[in-house]
Amino acid sequence: MRYAMAIDTRKCVGCSDCVIACQTENNVPLGFCRDWVVEVVDGTYPNVSIELRSERCNHCDNSPCVRCCPTGASHFEEGGIVLVEHNKCIGCGACIQACPYDARYSHPEGYVDKCTFCIHRVREGKDPACVSVCPTSCMYFGDLDDPNSKVVNMLKNRKFKSLAPEAGTKPQIFYLV
Amino acid sequence: MHTRRKFIKISSLGIGVTAFAGGMAKWAIGSTSPTNISTGSQSLAFGKKVATYCEVCFWKCAGWAYVTPNNQIQKIIGNADDPQCNGRLCPRGTGGVGMFSDPDRLKTPLMRVTKNGEQTYREASWDEALDFIAKKMKEIAEKHGPESMALFNHGSSGKHFTQLLNAFGSNNVTAPSFAQCRGPRDTGFELTFGESVSSPEVTDIRDTRCMVLIGSHIGENMHNGQVQEMSEAIDKGAVIITVDPRLSTAASKSKYWLPIKPSTDLALLLSWIHVLIYDDIYNKEYVVKYAEGFNELKEHVKDFTPEWAYGITTIKPEQIRQTAREMANAAPAVIIHPGRHTTWYGDDVQRSRAIAILNALLGSWGNRGGIFLKEGIKIPEFPHPAYPNPAWSWQDTLNGRYPLAKESITNTIIEASIPEEGKEHQIKGWIVSGTNLIVAIPLKEQLLKAMQSLELLVVVDTMPMEITGYADVVLPECTYLERYDDLRATAHREPTLCLRMPAVEPLYETKPAWWISKQIGERLGLGAYYNYTDFKEVIDWQLKQVGLTLAEMERIGTKKFARKTPVYIDPNSDYQFKTTSGKIHFYSKELEEAGFDPMPKYTAHDQPEDGFYRLIYGRAPMHTFSRTANNRNLVVLMPENSVWVNPQVAELWGLKKDQYVWLKNQDGIVSNFSVKVRVTERIRWDSVYIVHGFGHHHKPLTYAFGRGVNDTELISKISVDPIMGGTGMRGNFVTFVKDEPKKEAKS
C-alpha cells in the first residue's frame, strides 16, 4: 500500500478551500497551515500563463525529516504516511530545516506539526478533508498499489510532475499539468 | 427636524471589543487542541451535525454544521444531496464558522443617545429598543403614511422584514442586488427571451462544449455550482473563451483569452453577431423556429465587421472570426455567459441584450450544454390576513425614469429619502438588514444626506459594519448558524428544498430576524400576520403542504423532487417563450416603445486621461463583498486587497512590489487607506484591478479596519442605465499617490 495524491493544476482555481477545510478538520491554529496554495505567473502580457497548485507535505518515500528526527517522533505510518507523534516531539525543528518543501511548522504548543493525509479519515475509508471539500474536484487521493484507484488512473492518463525531484526525497504528491 | 446623525464608532463605548466568548476562545485560536489527532490514534470528537444552508453568499449551499459536545461549531461540510454544492462548500462556506466565532460581533441592542453634547450609543434591552422602533414607526405612519418606511435588505433575513413592511403598509423594499449588480442582465434577457437566467443561473455549464465569459470571472466569483461545473467542463474538454482586460483565473483556463480594451465589449459582441450571420454559421433552424426580427438584426449589424471592432476593442479580426467559429461549432451546446455583476457603463442592458441575441443565434436556450429550463417547487405561504394596499410604492419614486425596471432601485429610494419642498413620495424611515450600504452603494454624499434626513434608521446586522454607525437603533442579529429561516426552495435542474435550523443557541443577546420582525409587528398591532410563537411552526406547516415533515428534513437537510417538465426544449413541441409574442425578440418593440434602441448599438465611453488608469474591481474566492473582511478563518487567506499594476506602468511610476500607495480618482477623491502594489503581467497597462470589499474604516471591525482600499469610495461617477436604473461603476479612473496625502481626520 502506498498512499499518494494527484492534483490537477488545470482545474484548480486557487480558492484555498483546501486550506480552510484542513484548518477546521484538524484544528490547525489560525495563522498556521498544513496546506497552502501557490500561484506561478509566467510570461509577458498578453502571453501570460498561470499555474495554481495546492501544496502540502509530500509524504516522501525517502524522507529527510524522518531520518533527521532525534527522538523518532517523525515516523512512517501505514501506506507511507509521514506523521509526527506530538508526545515524542521535543520541538527541536531539525525536520523543519530538512524539509525541502517547507511543509512543517512549529505548533504554538511546542511540537512540530504538518499534514497527516487526514489519516484519521483515511482509516475510516474517507478522503482527506482537502480532497473531499475541493469545489473543482481537482485532487485525487488513493493507493498507488491499487491499479483501480483514481490516483493511478489519473497518473496513467495524464502528464504529471512532482516538486523539487532533484532533492531526491521521492515525493508522493503529483501535479497533473 | 431630527437631530443630525453623527457617525458613532461602537468601539468607543467600551463594549463590543471584549475578547473571544467563553470556552470558544482558546479553542478557536488553537492554544489547546481537544485531541492529539496527528498521531492518528484518535479522531476528533464531533457531537452532532445540524442541517443548515450557508449565508456567507447568496448561493446558499446546503450543509451540515458539526457541533462539539461543548456547543461550539467546529466545521461546516456541504450536503451531498444539494445540487448547488454536491457536498463541497466553497472556502467561504467552509469558513462560515468564522462568522459565528467573530469576536467583534454585535452583542446587544444599542440606542443612540446624546451625552454631554456628544452622540453615542448605549446598550439597551430588547424591549426598550423594540418599543422605541414601534413608537417611531407609528409616528411616521401617522404623519406621512406607512409607505414612508423603506427596507434595504440582502440575504435571508430580508424576507422577515419584508413581511413586516408589507403588513405595515409599505412596498418600498429594495436591495443592491438589482441596480448595483444583476439588474441589467436580467432586464436584457427578459426583453429577449421573456425571462431571466435566474439565481442560481440556469447555465448548463457541465455539459457545454464552449463557454464564453464576458468579464465574468468564475473561480474568483466563487458561485459554487458554476465553479464546480466549469471544472467538469474543463475535464470534458470544453472550449473556454474569456474576454477580460485582466488574465483572470478563468482566462488562464481558457483556450482563448481576449484581453479587450475595457468598455468596448459591446463592439466585440456586435462583430460576433455579424460573423455568425454573414458567414452563415448561425443556427438557422432554431432561429426560424423560435425567433423573430432576424432580418432587422441582419441589416443592423451589416457594418459591424471584425475589422470595425478591431479598431475599437484591440482584438484582432482573425481572432474574432476564429472564436465565432468555435461557438458555431459547439452550438447549440454553447453558453455566452450572461455574467452577474453587470452594472458597468450605463448601456448595460444593451450589452446584455447583445449577449442574449448571441445565445439565441446559436440556439443555446433550451438545449443541452446551453441554457436549460428550470423547475422549482412551490412552497405555499403561511396563512396570514391580506396585506394592506399601499397608496404608493417604489415605482412612484422613479418619476417616469427607468421604464423597464422590474425591481426596485436602491438609488431612487435613497433619493426619495432626501426631503424636498413639495415632494410627493417621501421616505422617512429605513430598516437596513444584512447590507452594508456604505460600501455597497456608490455616491456616498447622496447616501449620507438621505440618512441625515430620516426620522428613523434601524440597522439589523450580525457585525458592526459601517452602516451601523449611522443608526438610531442597532439590533444584533444571530448568525445563520443560530437560527431558523425560510426554507430554501430552489428552481434549477432539480427542484430542491433545504432547511436551515439552529446548530447552537444564539450567542450573547442576539436574536433571529423572524423574532425581531414579529416583536416589532406585535408592537404595531400587526400580530395577526405572525400567527405562530416559533418560526419552526411555519416551516413545519409548509413542509406538510408538500408531503414532508420537519423531523424528516432535520434528518436529511435537503430534499430533491422529481421534475414534471422537460429540462430542455422538446424539438417536436411547440415551445413558447415567455415574451409577448412567444418568440425570442431580436428586435425589441418594448425598448422601441419606451424610446430606446430596439437593437444594441456600440457607444464609445470615456477613457482615462494621461496618468490615470481605469479602476476595475472584482471578487476573490475567499471573500464575499465587505462582509467577510473580518472573518478570522478567511482573512488568513487574504487579509487585504492589493492594486494590480502592469509592470510597465509600475516602472513608469517607480512602483515596487508590496509598496503601499494611495489611489486618487478623477474627481480628486483619495482613498481612505493605502493599498499594497501587486506588479503583475496579468493586467492591461490602461487599467488597475482591486478586489472589492476591503478598506473598512469602522474601528469595531478590529481586524478589517484600515486593511486595503475600498473601491466604492473611489466610484464618484456613475453612468445610470436609462432603461432600468442600473448604476454603471466602471467609468472611474485612478492614479497613484506615493506619499501619504494630508487630509482631515476620517470618522
Average pLDDT over residues B47-55: 95
How many angstroms away from the CA of A133 is the closest CA of chain B? Answer: 5
**Mapping DSSP to helix (H, G, I), strand (E, B) and coil, where does residue A44 land?**
strand
What is the distance in angstroms between the Cα of A171 and the nearest Cα belonging to chain B?
Answer: 20
* B679 contacts B406 by C-beta, under 8 angstroms: no
Interface test with B, best of A7, A8, A17 (most B CBs within 10 A): A17
Residues of chain A found within 8 Å of residue B97, distances taken between Cβ atoms: 24
Which residues of chain A does B231 touch, with a Cβ-Cβ cutoff of 8 Å?
11, 13, 135-138
Helix (H, G, I), strand (E, B) or coil at B669: coil
Q: How far apart are CA A119 and CA A104, in angstroms?
A: 17
Of B457, B717, B514, B522, the C-alpha closest to B606 is: B717
Give the mean pLDDT of chain A. 97
Average pLDDT over residues B695-707: 97
| Per-residue confidence (pLDDT) for residue B46, from 0 to 100 | 64
- Best mutation site among A24, A25, A33, A36 for testing chain B: the one with the most B CBs within 10 Å? A24
Average pLDDT over residues B522-527: 98
pLDDT (0 to 100) of residue B6: 74
Q: In terms of Cα–Cα distance, which of B210, B146, B79 is closest to B490?
A: B79
Residue B38, pLDDT score: 40
Q: What is the pLDDT of residue B28?
A: 32
Which residue of chain A comes nearest to B33, CA vs CA?
A27
> Which residues of chain A does B30 touch, with a Cβ-Cβ cutoff of 8 Å?
27-30, 32, 108
The separation between CA B138 and the C-alpha centre of its own chain, rounded to angstroms, equals: 32
Chain A residues touching B230 at Cβ < 8 A: 136
Kindly report the average pLDDT of chain B as a whole number: 93
d(CA B240, CA B219): 13
Peptide bond into B332 cis (omega under 30): yes
Cβ pair A48:B234 closer than 8 A? no
Type of residue found at B593: E
Residues of A in contact with B94 (CB under 8 A): 17, 20-21, 24, 133
pLDDT single digits (tens) B470-519: 999 999 999 999 999 999 999 999 999 999 999 999 999 999 999 999 99
Flag whether pLDDT at B664 surpasses 90: yes
Decide if pLDDT at B241 tops 50.
yes
- Looking at the predicted structure, is the pLDDT value of residue B26 above 60? no
Nearest CB neighbour to A16, from listed B28, B622, B647: B622
Question: A124 to chain B: which residues are within 8 Å by CB?
Answer: 43
From the list B438, B410, B274, the residue with the least C-alpha distance to B343 is: B410
Alpha carbon distance B515, B532 (integer Å) = 10
DSSP-assigned letter for residue B179: I
Task: Give the 3-state DSSP-derived string for B699-735, with helices as H, strands as E and coil as C.
Answer: CCCCCCECCCCCHHHHCCCCEECCCCCCEECCCCEEE
Which three cell numbers mark B597?
Answer: 434602441
Question: What's the rounded Cα separation, in Å, for the pair B373 and A104?
Answer: 50
Residue type (1 letter), B136: K
A-interface mutation test, from B29, B39, B240, most A Cβ less than 10 A away: B39
Distance from CA of A165 to the nearest CA of B (A): 26
pLDDT at position B400: 92
pLDDT of residue B266: 98
pLDDT at res. B638:
96
pLDDT at B649: 98
Residues of A in contact with B90 (CB under 8 A): 15, 17, 135
Residue B371 reports pLDDT greater than 80: yes
CA distance A158 to chain B (A): 12
Q: Which of B385, B304, B229, B325 is nearest to B602 (CA)?
A: B304
Nearest to B272 by CA among B600, B604, B590: B600
The CATH number of the structural domain formed by A13-136 is 3.30.70.20
Span of A160-164, B4-8, B106-110, B179-183 with lowest mean pLDDT:
B4-8
Percentage of chain B beyond pLDDT 90 is 90
Quick check: A19 and B637 CB within 8 A? yes
Of B38, B636, B646, the CB nearest to A86: B38
Backbone phi, then psi, for B318, in 5-degree steps?
Answer: -70, -30
Rg of chain B on CA atoms, in Å = 26
The full set of domain ranges for chain A reads 13-136
Q: What is the mean pLDDT of residues B390-403?
A: 95
> Residue B37 pLDDT > 60, yes or no?
no
Q: Give the SS3 label for residue A68.
A: helix
Count the neighbouring beta carbons within 10 Å of the beta carbon of residue B699.
18
CB contact under 8 A, B252 and A50: yes
> What is the distance in angstroms between the Cα of B88 and the nearest Cα belonging to chain A?
5
Q: How many residues does chain A have?
A: 177
pLDDT band per the 50, 70, 90 thresholds, residue B744: low
Cα A49 to Cα B105: distance, rounded to the nearest angstrom: 41
Could B636 and A33 be called an inter-chain contact, meaning their C-beta atoms sit closer than 8 Å?
yes
* Contact: B91, A16; criterion CB under 8 Å: yes
Give the nearest partner residue to B89 out of A27, A133, A137, using CB atoms: A133
From the CA of A146, how many Å to the nearest CA of chain B?
23
Count contacts between A and B (CB, < 8 Å). 167
Inspect the interface and report whether the beta carbons of A84 and B38 lie closer than 8 Å: yes
pLDDT at B20 over 50: no
Helix (H) or strand (E) holding B456: strand B456-461
Q: Which residues of B touch A137 (CB under 8 A)?
A: 88, 228, 231-232
CA distances from B315 to B121, B303, B357, B547 (A): 56, 17, 21, 56
Average pLDDT for B569-575: 93
CB atoms B40 and A120 under 8 Å: yes
Residues in B touching A88 (Cβ below 8 Å): none
Confidence of residue A148 (pLDDT cuts 50, 70, 90): very high
Length of chain B: 747
Does pLDDT of B43 surpass 50?
Answer: no
pLDDT mean over B608-628: 97
A10: nearest CB among B76, B234, B637 = B234
Q: Which of A13, A21, A24 is opposite residue B227, by nearest beta carbon?
A: A13
In angstroms, the separation between the Cα of residue B54 and the nearest Cα of chain A is 15
**Which among A12, A20, A116, A124 is the top mutation candidate for probing chain B, defined by the most B β-carbons within 10 Å of its own β-carbon?**
A20
Q: Which of B43, B621, B685 sits opposite A120 (nearest CB)?
A: B43
Residue A84 scores a pLDDT above 60:
yes
Which strand (E) or helix (H) includes residue A160?
A: strand A160-161
Average the pLDDT over each of A93-97, B149-153, B443-447, B659-663 and give the range with the smallest value: B443-447
Nearest CA in chain A to B681: A45
pLDDT of residue B44: 53
Query: What average pLDDT does range B80-102 have in this prediction?
Result: 98
Confidence of residue B742 (pLDDT cuts 50, 70, 90): confident
List of domains in chain B: 185-374 (3.40.228.10), 613-737 (2.40.40.20)
* 8 Å CB contact of B219 and A138: no
Question: pLDDT tens digits for B302-311?
Answer: 999 999 999 9
What is the residue-wise DSSP string for B65-97?
A: EEE-TTS-EEEEEE-TT-TTTTT---HHHHTTH
Q: Is the pLDDT of residue B22 over 80?
A: no
Burial annotation A65-100 (CB, 10 A radius, 16+ → b, else e): bbeebeeebbbebebbbbbbbbeebeeeebbbebbb
Q: What dihedral angle (degrees, nearest 10) is formed by the CA atoms of B255, B261, B267, B272?
A: -10
The reply to whether residue B29 touches residue A123, judged by beta carbons under 8 angstroms, is: no
pLDDT at B47: 78
Beta carbons of A41 and B681 less than 8 Å apart: yes
- Tell whether the model's pLDDT for residue A20 goes beyond 70: yes
Select the more confidently predicted residue: B12 or A139.
A139
Q: Answer yes or no: is pLDDT of B45 > 70.
A: no
Residues of B in contact with A28 (CB under 8 A): 30
Q: Which of B40, B88, B632 sits opposite A77 (nearest CB)?
A: B40
Pairing of strands B48-53, A173-176: unpaired
Asked if omega into B200 is within 30° of 0 (cis), the reply is: yes
Provide CB contacts within 8 A for B636, sequence distance 6+: A19, A23, A30, A31, A33
φ and ψ at residue B707, rounded to 5 degrees:
-95, 115
- Between CA A83 and CA A63 the distance in angstroms is 11
The three cell numbers locating residue B534: 416559533
Select the more confidently predicted residue: B409 or B116. Answer: B409
Is A151 a residue whose pLDDT tops 60?
A: yes
Q: What is residue B428's predicted lDDT score, i.e. its pLDDT? A: 97
**Do B242 and B219 form a contact (C-beta atoms < 8 A)?**
no
Which strands, in side-by-side order, build the sheet including B48-53?
Answer: B48-53, B62-67, B73-78
Does residue B328 carry a pLDDT above 80? yes
- On the question of pLDDT at B21 being above 60, the answer is no
Is the CB of B75 less than 8 angstroms away from the CB of A124? no
Distance between B325 CA and the closest CA of chain A, angstroms: 22
Nearest to A17 among B39, B94, B234 (CB): B94
Contacts of A106 in chain B (CB under 8 A): none
CB contact under 8 A, A48 and B247: yes
Measure B373 CA to nearest chain A CA, in Å.
Answer: 24
Nearest-CA residue of chain A relative to B41? A120
Separation in Å, CA of A34 to nearest CA in chain B: 11
